Amino acid sequence: MENVPDIVDANSLPDEQTVESALRPKTLTEFIGQHRVREQLGLVLAATAARGGAADHVLLSGPPGLGKTTLASIVANELNVPIRITSGPAITHAGDLAAVLSSLTDGEVLFIDEIHRIARSAAEMLYLAMEDYRVDVMVGKGPGATAIPLQLPQFTLVGATTRAGLLPGPLRDRFGFTAHLDFYDPDDLASVVTRSAQLLKVDIDTDSTAEIGSRSRGTPRIANRLLRRVRDYADIHGDGRITLDVTTSALALYEVDTLGLDRLDIAMLRALIERFGGGPVGLSTLALAVGEETGTLEEVAEPFLVRAGLLLRTPRGRMATDAAWRHLNLSPPNPTLPL
């Protein structure tokens, strides 16, 4: 087991977001999973520390909840420099970015979450800032406008994105290190749960950590959230100890099944199978049947259902696989070989 930092007193933390932040690893040694990315990033940071100066710009891509924000903070901690945090949607004009860049200190890490959503004018300013540590500030308008060059301190940009394909090519090419974070396997998630339980001073057995890990959809953020809900159940309906019986009862209460499917996932599969014979059916029709927005189904439920082999996205619409029928204890009308 990796080193565990100081114990967190959960009673002193005011809200769930604070607890989540407190559970985040502070160093690469504490970071669980993503072994290849961790090794590669560790080499980049070690070389930077040996040479001095700012590290190469880092781009982290991958689905939500896998540790992109945590890794950005780790970069700053490992280099012993401050970190400035903002997001792409918050930078709506080039002036917004210029204000942030001009206030950076030497060596500081600038973390931009959802960097693919940054305004185009700001992205173009970022090209020059990343390459030459300089921005041109426009003064005035029309023919009389002039560009005043502003020298910036050396900094390290860490960008995070869930949709790397939407990044402009010139911006993507200016990152010296690019890493894609993959979903975690159940063993790594069990280790995440074990570490978080130690930090929260929760008494939990290994069967329970494995059970929570297997239902966490390959995502540490979900694993930590489920652990906190199981802890609540153990505190109210037991003696605070988390056993396998407590874990399964708690997850049943919160409608998280053995595959990690939640209420929305099950509702989507049931509507697809019981109302439309397994499909194909259009997303908008399916959304009406479930009573949710199409965007919610497409962005929240579908990615995991497709990855779990329970749903197919075809040109004619969404279709339930044989595995989806069997998961709902139903017999597929025309059984085919498993995907």
Mean pLDDT, rounded, for 101-129: 89
Catalytic residue, candidates 24, 38, 68, 117: 68
CA 166 – CA 116 distance, rounded (Å): 6
Q: In this structure, are residues 87 and 135 in contact, taking their beta carbons and an 8 Å threshold?
A: no
DSSP labels, 294-323: HHHIIIIIHHHHHHTTSEEEETTEEEE-HH
CA 134 – CA 237 distance, rounded (Å): 59
Catalytic residue, candidates 38, 70, 113, 117: 113
DSSP labels, 2-63: ----SPP-GGG--SHHHHHHHTS-SSTTT--S-HHHHHHHHHHHHHHHHH-SPPPPEEEESS
**Ramachandran angles phi, psi of 156, nearest 5°:** -115, 120
Which residue type occupies 302?
E
Mean pLDDT, rounded, for 267-292: 89
Is residue 15 annotated as part of the catalytic site, yes or no? no
Encode pLDDT of 177-216 as tens digits: 999 999 999 999 999 999 999 998 899 999 999 999 999 9
Of the listed ranges 95-109, 141-155, 197-211, the least confidently predicted one is 141-155
Is residue 209 annotated as part of the catalytic site, yes or no? no
Of the listed ranges 35-44, 240-249, 328-337, the least confidently predicted one is 328-337
Q: In this structure, are residues 197 and 173 in contact, taking their beta carbons and an 8 Å threshold?
A: no
Q: How confident is the model at residue 102 (pLDDT cuts 50, 70, 90)?
A: confident
Q: In this structure, are residues 44 and 55 in contact, taking their beta carbons and an 8 Å threshold?
A: yes
Q: How confident is the model at residue 11 (pLDDT cuts 50, 70, 90)?
A: very low
Catalytic residue, candidates 24, 172, 221, 231: 221
CA 51 – CA 154 distance, rounded (Å): 14
Is the model's pLDDT at 4 over the cut of 60?
A: no
Q: How confident is the model at residue 132 (pLDDT cuts 50, 70, 90)?
A: confident
User: H or E stretch including 178?
Assistant: strand 177-180
Catalytic residue, candidates 48, 69, 194, 247: 69
Q: In this structure, are residues 221 and 181 in contact, taking their beta carbons and an 8 Å threshold?
A: no
Is residue 232 annotated as part of the catalytic site, yes or no? no
Is residue 201 annotated as part of the catalytic site, yes or no? no
Q: How confident is the model at residue 261 (pLDDT cuts 50, 70, 90)?
A: very high
What does DSSP say about strands 146-151 and 83-87: parallel, antiparallel, or unpaired? unpaired
Q: Residue 253: what pLDDT?
A: 94
Q: What percent of the chain has pLDDT over 90?
A: 46
Q: How confident is the model at residue 141 (pLDDT cuts 50, 70, 90)?
A: low
Encode pLDDT of 73-88 as tens digits: 999 999 999 999 999 9
Catalytic residue, candidates 27, 86, 92, 162: 162
Q: In this structure, are residues 278 and 285 in contact, taking their beta carbons and an 8 Å threshold?
A: no
Is residue 24 annotated as part of the catalytic site, yes or no? no
CA 197 – CA 306 distance, rounded (Å): 31
CA 329 – CA 319 distance, rounded (Å): 17
Q: Residue 163: what pLDDT?
A: 87
Mean pLDDT, rounded, for 236-255: 92
Encode pLDDT of 284-337 as tens digits: 898 998 888 888 888 888 888 998 899 999 889 899 999 999 999 888 876 554
Q: What domains sit in the chain, N to C, each tagged with a CATH number?
A: 34-180 (3.40.50.300), 186-253 (1.10.8.60), 263-327 (1.10.10.10)
CA 216 – CA 190 distance, rounded (Å): 9
CA 196 – CA 202 distance, rounded (Å): 8
